[in-house]
Structure 1
Amino acid sequence: MRKQSYEKQLAGWTLLLLGMAVGAVAVALKRWTLVFLGAATVLLVPWTVMLGLTLPADTEVRHWSLAWTGLDVLMAAGCAATVVLSLRGRPAARLTASATAAVAVLDAWFDITTAPAGSGLAQALACAVGEAALACVCVFLAVNDRRSRT
């Protein structure tokens, strides 16, 4: 009887120590991840300034239609994944909603910044309104925790 109690205590202490070790690693990883993210923030400022000063004002692009349709396919896939995951009650739907919002904002940005003046820009702005609405819906889904109301 005493031997079984000792084994249970040993297992309990082992699990406790393992949990503490995993927790310590998670805290260290989070700190290093934040240090890396902070360094990237600082380094991106001069990089962005350099790009702004050195990139050509215009350029010829190969695979233009593939790039644009690829963004729309990615946006549609994000919408579909968010719907499926949400209907299944999976928390990962919040992640897909966040990613889809980012893709929608990027699509709107490139629609507007690459549009020619005049009717092309007006069409891009109209598309951007729809993409902004999609992004807002996705952000709402990402930050709204429906499980807390059930």
Structure 2
Amino acid sequence: MSADLAHEEHGENHSAAGGDRGVTPPRNVPHWTGWLLLALGVFTLPWTANLAVYLPDKSEAAHYNASWVGFDLLLCALLIRTGWSLLHRRAYVEVTAAMTAVMLFIDAWFDVLSAPTTKEFIVALGLALCVEVPLGVFCLWVSIRAEYERRRREELMSALVRRLLALNRRTAARRGHRLP
């Protein structure tokens, strides 16, 4: 029996501040992947600094309209999927809600920074501040609440399984059987 299971079986709790059980990363993801992603993020900083210095301030883009239409279609799909998932109480709605929030923040960022005229800049800034950013914050709130609820249900189910196992062991012991 692993040490984690032994601690769980005996009711030991690895608590974080506030009394909630600490959440460990899934065992099917190797520990080194976190270090790899962290290193890649750090090593990307000089690349980004290089881009900031050497990229031109203005550039024409081929298929500019298609790229924005595709981005907005993806954003629509995520909004619809998140709403549908909430209405149907689907598992892992926190993932689509978080993805939707990120897309909204990216949309606001690029709309504001790519506005070619002062008038379009003001409209983009107004939409960013009144629609996209608040909606993104709302989606993050949904994501956090959904994750909290998923963890709460998971802990309740774990407690129920532990109780059933204990009851099963006691019943087996009374009958003279020994369970692993």
TM-score, reference length from structure 1: 0.76
Partner deviation per Cα, 1:5-58 (whole Å, 9 max, x = no partner): xxxxxxxxxxx68xx9xxxxx548341111111111211110111111111111
Alignment partners' CA distance in 2, 1:104 and 1:113: 14
Matches within 5 A, 1:96-115: 96-115=96-115
**What is the letter of the counterpart of residue 29 of structure 1?**
V
**Which consecutive segments of 4 or more residues in structure 1 shift more than 4 A?**
none
Structure holding more helix per residue: 1
Alignment partners' CA distance in 1, 2:94 and 2:108: 21
2:51 aligned residue: 51
Number of residue equivalences: 128
How many Å apart are 1:81 and its aligned residue? 0.6
Alignment partners' CA distance in 2, 1:69 and 1:28: 37
Q: CA RMSD in A?
A: 2.4
TM-score, reference length from structure 2: 0.64
Gaps of 5+ in 2: 6-25, 154-180
Alignment partners' CA distance in 1, 2:57 and 2:127: 24
